[in-house]
Chain A
Amino acid sequence: DQQVKQNSPSLSVQEGRISILNCDYTNSMFDYFLWYKKYPAEGPTFLISISSIKDKNEDGRFTVFLNKSAKHLSLHIVPSQPGDSAVYFCAASLDQFYFGTGTSLTVIP
């Protein structure tokens, strides 16, 4: 039972443009959401988070939006850079972290 879903396995974006990564969840009890970034042969690294009481959190080029009514989370990266090329996982927290399947982002120079 996949409670957190990332329906796009991959995304390609030109350098300088916006990257939008999407995540859907099924459990309305989730109270905390996170995005992790993963390079090959490395563990995931924390990127940005948002509490369920907020609808937006911004950190530099990264902004996470939360739409609780739609049970939808998105990560915006503006402007995208080649170093952003990685796999991005969204995660939702309740009693534990539930991870999505990941979206592989490629930023084309």
Chain B
Amino acid sequence: EAGVAQSPRYKIIEKRQSVAFWCNPISGHATLYWYQQILGQGPKLLIQFQNNGVVDDSQLPKDRFSAERLKGVDSTLKIQPAKLEDSAVYLCASSLVSDTDTQYFGPGTRLTVL
């Protein structure tokens, strides 16, 4: 079974630039998550999708972050414009149905904002 795929693996941008990350979850997984992991901290949930609907985006900084999962499969997370404090690893995870199901994580995208 293929795991969660993410791209790119690394991205370096300057502040005020835009960036987008892509995630392809495990086939058949209805729930998709985006997490932000700042160095030395645990992953923090940004947004949770159930199929193509948003379940929880309470911790997403909506003035600069956006995410979509149009066909209930792949998802993109965008930051526009980026700030220095956005430097982090962005993890995508998926689970079968509910938020108590085991989450399977992708390798993450390491973003550096200069």
Contacts and interface: CB of A to CB of B under 8 A. Distances in A.
B91 interface: yes
Contacts, number: 50
Please classify how large the interface on chain B is, using the bins under 10, 10 to 19, 20 to 34, 35 or more: 20 to 34
Interface stretch (B13-21, B61-69, B95-103): B95-103
B72 interface: no
Interface string A35-79: 010000111111001000000000000000000000000000000
Interface string B87-114: 0000101000001101111111000000
A89 interface: yes
Chain B binding surface SS class:
loop
Interface in B53-98: 56, 91, 93
A34 B102 contact: yes
A31 B99 CA distance: 12
A1 to B, nearest CB: 12
A45 B42 CA distance: 14
Interface of A: 4, 6, 31-32, 34, 36, 41-46, 49, 89, 91, 93, 95-97, 99-102
Contacts of A93: 99-100
Interface of B: 4, 6, 40-45, 48, 56, 91, 93, 99-100, 102-108
A46 B42 CA distance: 14
Contacts of B106: 43
B100 A32 contact: yes
Contacts of B104: 45-46
A29 B40 CA distance: 26
Nearest to A42: B107
A96 B108 CA distance: 19
B33 to A, nearest CB: 8
A57 to B, nearest CB: 13
A46 to B, nearest CB: 5
Which residue of B42, B93, B104 has the most chain A CB atoms within 10 A of its CB atom? B42
Contacts of B99: 93, 95-97
Contacts of A101: 40-42
B2 to A, nearest CB: 14
